[in-house]
Amino acid sequence: MEALRLLFLFLLGPTVALALTHKLPSLKPGLSLSVEKEGQLLVSPEGSFSSGFYRVGTNVYCYAIWFTNSAEKTVVWMANRDRPVNGKGSRLTLHRNGNLVLTDADGSIVWSTDTFSDGEVEVQLLETGNLVLINQAKEVIWESFDFPTDTLLPTQPLTRNTSLVSMRSRDTFSSGFYRFQFDDNNLLNLVYDGPVVSSVYWPLTVFFSRRTPYNSTKIAALNNMGRFRSSDNLKFNASDYGVGPKRRLTLDYDGILRLYSLDELTGIWEIAWLPSGVDACLVHGLCGEYGVCRYNPLPSCACPDGFDRNDPSDWTKGCSPSFNMSCAPAELGFMELLHTDYFGYDLNSYNIGISLEACKNACLNDCTCKGFGYALDGQGQCYPKRYLLNGYHMPDTAMIMHIKVPKGIMASQAGGEKLRTYDQLNCSTPEIVLRNINAGAENPNKNWYMKYLISFAGSVAVIEIVFIGLGWWFVFRKRIREELVNMGYIVLAMGFKHFTFGELKRATRNFREEIGRGGFGTVYKGVLDDKRIVAVKRLEGIILQGDSEFWAEVSIIGKINHRNLVKMWGFCAENDDKLLVYEYLENGSLDKILFSADSAMRLGWEQRYNIAIGTAKGLSYLHEECLEWVLHCDVKPQNILLDDHLEPKVTDFGLSKLFKDTNDMGFSRVRGTRGYLAPEWMINLRINAKADVYSYGVVLLELLTGKRASGFNLATAEGSGHNQMVQWFRLKIQEQELEEVIDPRLEKRCHKKEVQRMVRVALLCVEDDRDTRPAMSKVVELLVGEEELVPNEEMTD
C-alpha cells in the first residue's frame, strides 16, 4: 500500500511539476488562462517569447508578452496596461464565437479583441512575438502587432494608425506622455503629449536631413537584420547590424527611443541605436512647469528660487511659486537665470532687434506672460513665454531667462545661484544614462550640439552663411525655435515664420503698394513689425487644397538658402489666403534695369557678367544641390532680382508645386513665359532641368544684346518651336557679325574673352537638342573659366 502510494507519487511528480510551468503552444476555443496559474504560458514555437499574466504590482496583473531569455522579464506588449486585473479570479478566455476576452475577478470585461468567427479559431504566439488569432483557413483575424504599446519588434510595422507610447515611469506600466508616431506632415517624430501641452522634441530639425514629408504612405519597420526604414526616409542600422541578436525598439519611460539588442549569454540588453540629438534634458516634460533640468552629471531637476516642488515624488508635476503673483506691472520684476532657457510656448513667435527694456515691458504688460528669454548678444532676440516648460540649464547657452516675480522676492534673492539644489532624477536607468550621455564627453551638451552641427555637414554653404552672417548663437537659438509647439520643425527654421493674415495685412498697409505681378500672383511691398522690409506675394490660382501639403511644400522652399536665390522668410495660410513673404530687394528685377531707357541705369559689362554667373549659380543650386530637386520653369529677367550691389537673386522658384496642374508625368500645361520656352515644351516631352537651361540661355542673349526676347516676333515662332531671337542670334554669329549684336550701350567696353565665353555658353544653352545643353553647374564652370582674366581690355575687332 505504502509502496503503491510512493510509486503513484513518483509517477505523478513530474506531471505536477509540468503543470506548474505549463507551456502551451496555443489556446483553443472554450479554454482560459487563469491568473492564479502563473506558470501557465503561451510560448512561441522556438521559445523566444512567452505570454501570460505578468505581475505589475501587489496582487495586480496585466496580460503581457515578454522575451523569454532576457535576464529580467522584458515586456514587449500588454493587453490592458492602463487597467490591470486582480491577482485572483482574472482570466483570459477564448470564447467559442472567436472573441478573446480578458476578465477581472468580478467577471467584468477589461479588454477583448472584439473578433468574431463562425468556425474554429485559436490563439498562437508566433516566433516574432506576435500574438495572433487564427481561423480555420489559417487567416490571421487579429494580431497584437496592430496594437503596439511601447515596443516595436522586428518585422512589426509602425503605420498611420499606430504609435509607440512610453510607460508612465520606471515601474508604472500604464501609458505615459511620450509618443513615437507619424505626424500630419508624414514625418516620424517624438512628441511629449502631456495633460496640458504637447510638443515635438525630436527630430530637432528635418532640415539638412534626408527626411521627406512627401510620402504619405506612413509606414516604418525594423527588419531582422536590425535595419530600420521609414517612408519619410528615416533610416538607421543597429550598431551590431546583421541577423542574430534579438532586438526591440522601445520608447522608454524617459522619452528616449532606443534600439536594443539582447546579449543571449548574459541576458542583458545593449543599446544598438539612439536618435542623435536627444538626450535626457532635451526630452520635454521632464521637470514640469518652472522646473529646470541639468546634467549634474546625471540629469537632475531643480526649482528656481522662490518656487517649490509640487510633488516630492514626481518631478513632472513641476514647481509652483511660493508667493502670490499679482498682475500689476508696478509690483512686478524679473529674476534672472543665467544659461537657462525654457523650450517653446512663446507668446510672439519670433522677435529680433528688441531692446531688453522693451522686452521687459512687453512681458510686464501682458498678464499671461510668465517670463522671457533674452540673450545679450546684440541680436536683440526677445522670447516672452506663456508657459515655462521644458527648462534646461546649459553652460553653453547665452540665453538668460527672466522669470516674472513680485518685486519683494527679487530683493531677497539678490546674487548667487537662483536655482534650488538639483535633485537627481530617478529617470533613466543609470547605466544607460551614463553610456548615452557621458560616453567620451566631458560636456554632454556640447557633445550633443556638435552632433547636431555635424548633421549639417552636407550644406557647407548654409553653415557659412549662418556662421558669418548670423553668428553662432543664432543657429543655436534657431534650433530651439524649430521645436515650437506642435508645429515642430517647420516654423522659424532659418527665421522661417508662419505669419497671420492680419500681420501681413498690417505690414502691407492693406496691400497698398504693388511692386510686381507674375504668374503666381501679385507682389506687395511691406514692413514687418520688426522693421524688416518684405515683398509679400499673394498667391492666386488653384493652390494645393490640403493645408498640410501647402505647409510641406512651402517649408521645402523656405529651407532653400543660397546667395543667389531670394530668401523666403515665411508664409501665411489662412483659409483661402495663401501668402509668401520674401526678402525685399531694393534694385528690383533685371528687366527694369537692363531694358531701361535711362542711361544712368545702364548695366556695364562687368555687372552683366556677374549677373550671368550669379544666376547660373542660383539655378545650379536649385537643380543639383538642394535636397529636393527644384525646377524653376520660368527663368526670365523679371524673376532675377538685384540687390544693392547688383548681385542677382533668382526668385519665384519651387512655386509650380503649389499649384494643382502638375501630374506624375511632369507638367500638364506650359508653365513658362513666351520667348523663353525651350522647344520641348511644345512637343509634350517630360520637362527636366534642361528647360531652365534653355531659358537661361535666352537671358544670356538678352544680357549680350540688350534686346528683349519678347521684342521679336513671337506669334509665328512659338508654335513651330523656334525661338526668333535665338535664330536671329545664331545667324549673326554664323555671319561673324558679333559686334553688331552686342548691346551698343556697352560702347565696346567689354572684356573680349568674356564676351566670347558668354556667347559660346549662350549658344550651348539654347541648343534645340536638350541633351547637348550643359547642366547649370557646367555653365558656372564655363563662365568662370580657367583662363586668366585680364581686366577690361578694349574690344578691338
| Residues annotated as catalytic (active site), given as ranges | 634
User: With binding defined as CB under 6 A, does residue 237 bind ligand NAG?
Assistant: yes
Query: Which among 213-221, 343-351, 717-725, 757-765 is the span making contact with ligand NAG, rule CB under 6 A?
Result: 213-221
User: With binding defined as CB under 6 A, does residue 727 bind ligand NAG?
Assistant: no
Q: Is the peptide bond before 679 cis (omega within 30 degrees of 0)?
A: no
Stretch 633-662: interaction string toward ligand NAG, x if CB under 6 A? ------------------------------
Comparing CB distances to ligand NAG, the nearer of 411 and 715 is 411
User: With binding defined as CB under 6 A, does residue 663 bind ligand NAG?
Assistant: no
Q: What is the Cα–Cα distance from 299 to 19, expressed in whole angstroms?
A: 47
Q: What is the Cα–Cα distance from 98 to 30, expressed in whole angstroms?
A: 9
Comparing CB distances to ligand NAG, the nearer of 3 and 243 is 243
The answer to whether residues 438 and 311 touch, using CB atoms and an 8 Å cutoff, is no
Phi, psi of 392 (to 5 degrees): -150, 155
Give the shortest CB-460-to-ligand NAG separation in angstroms: 22
User: With binding defined as CB under 6 A, does residue 426 bind ligand NAG?
Assistant: yes
Comparing CB distances to ligand NAG, the nearer of 24 and 219 is 219
Q: What is the Cα–Cα distance from 469 to 81, expressed in whole angstroms?
A: 52
Q: What is the Cα–Cα distance from 52 to 606, expressed in whole angstroms?
A: 80
> And the C-alpha cell for 149?
504599446
User: With binding defined as CB under 6 A, does residue 161 bind ligand NAG?
Assistant: yes
Residue type, position 362, single letter: A
Give the shortest CB-286-to-ligand NAG separation in angstroms: 13
Give the shortest CB-227-to-ligand NAG separation in angstroms: 5
Counts for the chain of helices (H) and strands (E), in that order: 17, 47
Residue type, position 675, single letter: G
User: With binding defined as CB under 6 A, does residue 159 bind ligand NAG?
Assistant: yes
Query: Which among 227-235, 245-253, 395-403, 507-515 is the span making contact with ligand NAG, rule CB under 6 A?
Result: 227-235
Reference 548, options 252, 224, 184; nearest CA is 184
Out of 323, 467, 472, 629, the only residue in the binding site for ligand NAG (CB under 6 A) is 323
Q: Is residue 73 part of an annotated ligand binding site?
A: no
Q: What is the Cα–Cα distance from 601 to 708, expressed in whole angstroms?
A: 16
Query: Which among 54-62, 214-222, 363-371, 513-521 is the span making contact with ligand NAG, rule CB under 6 A?
Result: 214-222
Residue 710, phi-psi category: left (phi > 0), alpha (psi -120 to 50), beta (remainder): alpha
Q: What is the Cα–Cα distance from 384 to 402, expressed in whole angstroms?
A: 9
Number of residues that bind ligand NAG (CB under 6 A): 16
Taking each helix axis from N to C terminus, what angle separates 605-620 and 689-705, rounded to the nearest 10 degrees? 180
CA distances from 155 to 17, 124, 130, 263 (A): 36, 17, 10, 20
Out of 235, 407, 686, 760, the only residue in the binding site for ligand NAG (CB under 6 A) is 235
Q: What is the Cα–Cα distance from 453 to 208, expressed in whole angstroms?
A: 10
Comparing CB distances to ligand NAG, the nearer of 238 and 762 is 238
List Cβ neighbours of 475 (8 Å cut-off, separation of 6 or more): 466, 467
Phi, psi of 467 (to 5 degrees): -70, -45
User: With binding defined as CB under 6 A, does residue 627 bind ligand NAG?
Assistant: no
> And the C-alpha cell for 695?
531659358
Query: Which among 156-164, 515-523, 581-589, 729-737 is the span making contact with ligand NAG, rule CB under 6 A?
Result: 156-164
User: With binding defined as CB under 6 A, does residue 156 bind ligand NAG?
Assistant: no
Give the shortest CB-537-to-ligand NAG separation in angstroms: 29
Out of 227, 451, 707, 730, the only residue in the binding site for ligand NAG (CB under 6 A) is 227
Give the shortest CB-242-to-ligand NAG separation in angstroms: 9
* Edge-to-edge strand list for the sheet holding 91-94: 32-34, 91-94, 100-103, 109-112
Comparing CB distances to ligand NAG, the nearer of 26 and 237 is 237
Phi, psi of 200 (to 5 degrees): -85, 130
Comparing CB distances to ligand NAG, the nearer of 236 and 584 is 236
List Cβ neighbours of 11 (8 Å cut-off, separation of 6 or more): none
User: With binding defined as CB under 6 A, does residue 141 bind ligand NAG?
Assistant: no
Residue 732 CA, distance from chain mean position = 53
User: With binding defined as CB under 6 A, does residue 241 bind ligand NAG?
Assistant: yes
Stretch 439-478: interaction string toward ligand NAG, x if CB under 6 A? ----------------------------------------
Comparing CB distances to ligand NAG, the nearer of 259 and 650 is 259
Comparing CB distances to ligand NAG, the nearer of 423 and 768 is 423
Query: Which among 97-105, 233-241, 529-537, 736-744 is the span making contact with ligand NAG, rule CB under 6 A?
Result: 233-241
The answer to whether residues 354 and 450 touch, using CB atoms and an 8 Å cutoff, is no
Binding to ligand NAG in span 273-302, by CB under 6 A = none
Out of 217, 239, 326, 772, the only residue in the binding site for ligand NAG (CB under 6 A) is 217
The per-residue b/e assignment along 405-437, b for 16 or more CB within 10 angstroms, e otherwise, is bbeebbeeeeeeebbbebbebebbeeebbeebb
Taking each helix axis from N to C terminus, what angle separates 724-734 and 752-765, rounded to the nearest 10 degrees? 130
Comparing CB distances to ligand NAG, the nearer of 323 and 629 is 323
The answer to whether residues 432 and 271 touch, using CB atoms and an 8 Å cutoff, is yes
Out of 219, 714, 717, 775, the only residue in the binding site for ligand NAG (CB under 6 A) is 219
User: With binding defined as CB under 6 A, does residue 511 bind ligand NAG?
Assistant: no
Binding-site ranges for ligand NAG (CB under 6 A): 159-161, 215, 217, 219, 227, 231, 235-237, 241, 323-324, 423, 426
Please give the annotated binding residues for ATP, written as ranges.
537
Please give the annotated binding residues, written as ranges.
537
